[in-house]
Structure formats: C-alpha cells, structure tokens
Chains A and B, each alone.
Chain A
Amino acid sequence: MDNAISFEMLTEEEKYKHFIERIEAKSKIEADDWMPEEYRKTLIKLISMHGISEIMGALPEKEWVPKAPSLKRKLGIMAKVQDEMGHGQLLLRVAEDLMKPYGKNRENIMQDLFTGELKFHNVFHMEAPTWADAGLIGWLVDGAAIITQTNMLDASYGPYARALKRICAEEVFHAQHGESIIMALAEGTAEQRAMVQDSLNRWWEALLMFFGPGDSSTTGTSKQDITIKYHIRTKTNEQLRQDFFTKYIPRVLSLGLKLPDESMRFDDESGKWLYRQPDWSRFKEIIKNKGPKSESRLRLRKISYETNEWVREALSSRSSGM
C-alpha cells in the first residue's frame, strides 16, 4: 500500500502506543499484527506451556483408558483424553503461529520439552495410581483448569481467546465425566469411598499449587503481572485459587469427603478461605521435571516421538497431492 502514513512507517514507540490503545479498547490482536516483543514472548511462554501441558496431561489419564471398569467408562475416558490431545493441538497451533517469526515450529516445541526448556503443568508430574484418580483429575483438576481458562476467555490475543472458547466448552463435558466417576465411587462400597478419599488426600497439595504461587515473593518469579498488564487475564493466582475453593469445597464436603487440610475454613471477615500453604519449594522442584512421574512421562513422549520419526520423514518428502 502506498499510504502516506502507513502503519509500517510509525516509530516503535508509536506502534506500541497504538497497540496499547487497541487492547485497552478491547479489540483483538491477531497473529500477523504488530505486537511488542514482550507480549509475543509472554504469549509464547504461556500458550506453549498450556498446550504441552494438555499433551502431557493426556498421559496420567491415559493409564486408565484400557482399565476403565465398564464399556461406557472406557468410551468416556477415551473421549476425554482425546479432547486433551485436541486441546493441545489447538493451543500448540496458536503458539506455533506466534513463534513463526523466530523460525520455530512444532519440532522446536518438542525438542524444548525434551531438554526441559519448556515446562509442563505441575499436576501432570504427579502419580495417578488408582481409578479414583481418573475421576478426580476430571472433576477437580479440570475444575481448576476451567477456573483459570475461563479467566482468559476475553484475552486480548484473539487466536488464544478463540481456542479457549472451544476448550472451555469441552471442559464442561470433562468435569461432568469426572463428577460421574467420583459420584459412583462416593455412593459405592466402603472400599470405593476410601479410594476417593485417598485420591483427594494425595492430590490436595497439587491442586493448591495448580494456580501457582500467590505472588512473586513465594517462588521468586511470577508472570502474572505482565499477563494482567496486557489484558491476557484479569485475576491473580490467589483470586483464582479462592474462586476454586468457593466453587468446589462445598461440593467436596457434600459428598462426605474430608478436606485433607483440617485447619481450612472460610473467614467471614476477610471473605477468604484460610488454608495451609503447600510446600512451594517442592512446587519449584516439580516443575523442573523433578516430580514423581516427570521423567517417565517425558520418556513416553520421547519414545513416541523417536519411534515414529520415520513416518514424518517419509511424508516430508512427498509433495502435496496424490
């Protein structure tokens, strides 16, 4: 275009100002639009981690796919894990488009995962040793995910907001799938009920950690301020954790389950749930791939990647069309 005042001719500062005006006015930023480096990098980090977490998150539940105790449960959990892979697909596509200017693609994402450069969510480093875990992941881990993801439905980055819209719609099914498993167990035999309680006890700390540290003083770093500044999300980690408590604690109790934190209570004065902090130093270790299942799950992904290399190789050299 031969506009006298083309956008391309603006100085970096003017472009930045224009960008901020756009996000303040709630208009959506698209993949090919100009964006500040910090915004792009924050998005890449956030979305590639979100995407790869979905892919890695398929693995703990996948353990239970063949073992699910009925045909209906087998089909349900298969569809659920499939969705996780599908969500990974959507999110990685969004991240890949953001990385394109750096000459990176999915290959790099996988390599970054294997080298430990790209982290995945703390909950997916944990063990899932019983069938109740399959239910609990759907009910509470996906419940927590719904809280964080709906918080970003209006994100300033259009492709992410659109992917999240698809994802959240499917998460509703995931939550109900999880609830259905948990409810059957909670209403079942003494052994089944004990299985759910045991699962809740084991997942409790990971669920508290799910939302990340309250502020940067806890672990030294926090991206939450930047994401709020750029209208990617609106609430802080602690607000999200509180929302989670408000929605789920009454439900947990209504099923006759005991909270693993006996000191936990709702404080009327501050309007907040008071709870025992998890061990945040452990959180830091876990996301450094030093959780109980970090190595073995990465190994699964790596084996699949390497064993199938020949397939990608074979079709890379074919030109399009039959």
Chain B
Amino acid sequence: MAGEGFYQEYEVFSRRSDTSPMQYQFSLLAPNAELALVMAQENFLRRESASDIWVVKRSNIRKMTLDEKESLQRLDNKEYRNTKGYGYLKKKWRQYEQGMLDEKEIMSWGGKQSDENPHS
C-alpha cells in the first residue's frame, strides 16, 4: 500500500438546513476522507446546525490562477439579462390598471394557497 502520509488536506463544506446552499467552511488535515468526515462538524460547526457535510480532497479541486481570475471580470452592460432592463413595464402595467409581477411578488407565491383562500 503506497501511503500518501497522514496529513492530507480536505476542504469542508456544509449545508445549514435542507433548503440552504452548500457553503465552504474551512480545511482540515486527515489521513483519509472517512476520518475527515467524522472530524469536520466538530471542528467547524460546534455552534451551528448542519443538515449535510461534504469533504473534498483539496488536490481534486481545480483552482484559478491569478491570470485566470482576470477572466471573471465583465462589463456592466447586460441589463437585458436582468429585470433591471425591463423596469419600464411597471409604469406600463399601471396604465392597464395592473400590478407588476416583480421578483418579490413571484417568489412569494410558493405554498401561499391557504392564506389567499378567497373564502376565508
């Protein structure tokens, strides 16, 4: 068995609840993924809840170089991708005596049935 040494680097990620996204926590040293996993929560989440934890061997992560990070920049001219580019609609709908179905409104629809029951 060709050993890689006891001190392997693992990156730890966790999800606070079933609906939260995975979030990076920190790195730890462990001889393998199983031990990394049993040490992860107590090292980084002693006072926080978690509904799932991932450990990833650092050598499996492809990171960006300083040069590559330059490729992350872009111009601020992409209104057409966002609701920002369609802001005028609010005014238009008002002319038709209708409210705007904006992000706040639409995101509030999930599971609201019973609240909005017209019979209540």
Contact = CB atoms under 8 A, between A and B. Distances in A.
Contacts of B43: 86, 89
B35 A315 contact: yes
Given A318-B3, A320-B57, A1 B68 contact: yes
B7 A32 contact: no
Contacts of A170: 47
B31 A93 contact: no
B31 A318 contact: yes
Contacts of A3: 67, 70
A315 B31 contact: yes
Nearest to B3: A317
Nearest to A311: B6
Contact of A93 (B28, B46, B63): B28
Interface residues of B, number: 28
B116 to A, nearest CB: 41
B2 interface: yes
A93 B3 contact: no
Interface in B82-113: none
Given A89-B43, A106-B7, A1 B67 contact: yes
Q: Tell me whether chain A's interface is mostly helix, strand or loop, or mixed.
A: helix
Interface residues of A, number: 33
Nearest to B25: A166
Contact of B66 (A34, A96, A315, A317): A34
Contacts of B66: 7, 32-34
Interface string A91-131: 00100110000000111000000000000000000000000
B115 interface: no
9 contacts: A1-B65, A7-B66, A32-B63, A32-B66, A166-B26, A170-B47, A313-B6, A319-B1, A319-B4
Top 3 closest A-B pairs, CB basis? A317-B3, A315-B31, A312-B6
Interface of A: 1, 3, 6-8, 32-34, 79, 82-83, 86, 89-90, 93, 96-97, 105-107, 163, 166, 170, 312-313, 315-322
